[in-house]
Amino acid sequence: MHKKYFNYFLLGVVAFFPWVNYFVRKFHLPFSNSWDDAFIFFVFVISLVIGAKNIKKLFSNPTFLFGLLFLSVTLFSFYFNNYFLVAYIHEARLFFEPFLIFVALMLIEPEKEEVHFFLKSIIVSYSFIALYGLYQYVKKVPTPPQWVDKDLEKSFIKTRAFSIIGSPNVLGAHLEVALPLPLIYIIKEKSRIKKVLWSIPFLIIGGGLLATFARAAWLSSAFSLFASTLWISPLLGVIFIIFAGILFVFISPLRIRILSLFSSLYIQKSAQDRGRIFRWTYGVLNASDHPLLGSGFGTYGGSASQAYGFFAGQSMDSVYIKTLAETGWLGILTFIPWVSLGVGVILTRFMEEKKPLFLFIGAGLVAFLLNMFTENLLNNTAGIAYVFWALIAVGITYHE
């Protein structure tokens, strides 16, 4: 396969992964439950052939090396805890299979125009995802009652957008990664008309993010956008604060949703049986009982633990606490560099090269890393992990 065509194919499928996955599964097409595994296997093998000359360079990449270290820790954790092999494989597949996208892109090193094709494809893909979410919100599509706190929010929040993703919190994670990307082209373009045109997807994705009522995604995005605008200009940072303040004051559901997070009733309920604070507390306690290697990868608060009956089938709602509980201190101390070092490289490139592309790719990734404190975002099948690792790879390898 010609390298250029392969690169466009790989980047296009990743950008539109939520749509491809949605339609493949909705219409029960052949291999609908394993098409993503086949896709990953195919692109990984082809990238090894096309990018063979870069394999040696890959082994000097810190993100790749920490990925291998974390994988090794999970294997040791499995060996010394001696539990179901299928539980380990289940969890390892969700964590490490998307990482192969990073490996593939590091090997093939996409060209400048291919990277911009990828970024623009994400903007288009996620704009339509956000539009569908806005449609759901406007039409007040029925949603499960547990998505809204009946004691604090029910009279103000009637529905939450979930689009084709199926969960408002996971939808928020998708949109927070994509939201800063149009800013690359708003700043880059010289024509006022083009600047206005690129503002449209920014507003659509931002509106879709608001309609999710996903507080963690809101706060993560707000922090990363504020930091990135402040990095460009203190004046832009002030304007961002004013705009955010106006939204907070005049959009009552948004204000109530944020303030309810700090209410004594919410904290009390969260600390009770199966609340989020309750689950976090037990995750930390589990880690204290197994400090070095945890209780085993796939045994506590993730997709595998729910499937195989560990921890009463509950989600931990925090990638970091889940990782600490399952793999101990050795796990968390290799996991954090694995997922964050590449983001640091991208932001360092912005400081050195002053290109908005690095800043706003980095802003979306920082928001995602922050959001992982409150959600199991690497444990879903909607494709956000594929986009996360792909953006890190193109941010590291981008060249003019």
The answer to whether residue 285 sits within a structural domain is no
Token couple for 139: 């039409």
Q: What confidence tens digit (pLDDT) does each residue in 345-357 have?
A: 999 999 999 999 9
Name the pLDDT band for 313 (thresholds 50, 70, 90): low
Other residues' Cβ atoms within 10 Å of the Cβ of residue 242: 9
Residue 45 has pLDDT above 80, yes or no: yes
The answer to whether residue 234 sits within a structural domain is yes
**Residues 6 or more apart whose Cβ sits within 8 Å of residue 45:** none
The answer to whether residue 34 sits within a structural domain is yes
The answer to whether residue 207 sits within a structural domain is yes
The answer to whether residue 300 sits within a structural domain is no
Q: Which percentage of the chain shows pLDDT scores above 90? A: 70
Query: How many distinct structural domains can be found in the chain?
Result: 1
What is the pLDDT, as a whole number, of residue 155? 65
* Residue-range definition of the domain harbouring residue 383: 3-266+315-397
Residue 10, CA atoms < 13 Å, CB-side half-sphere: 36
The answer to whether residue 262 sits within a structural domain is yes
Other residues' Cβ atoms within 10 Å of the Cβ of residue 400: 6
The answer to whether residue 271 sits within a structural domain is no
Rounded to an integer, what distance in angstroms lies between the CA atom of residue 21 and that of residue 375?
Answer: 21
Distance in Å from the first CA to the final CA of the chain = 24
Q: What confidence tens digit (pLDDT) does each residue in 212-255 have?
A: 999 999 999 999 999 999 999 889 889 999 999 999 998 888 88
Instruction: Return the biggest CA–CA distance within the chain.
Output: 62
Q: What's CA 352's distance to the chain center, in Å?
A: 26
What mean pLDDT, rounded, does the chain reach?
91
The answer to whether residue 302 sits within a structural domain is no
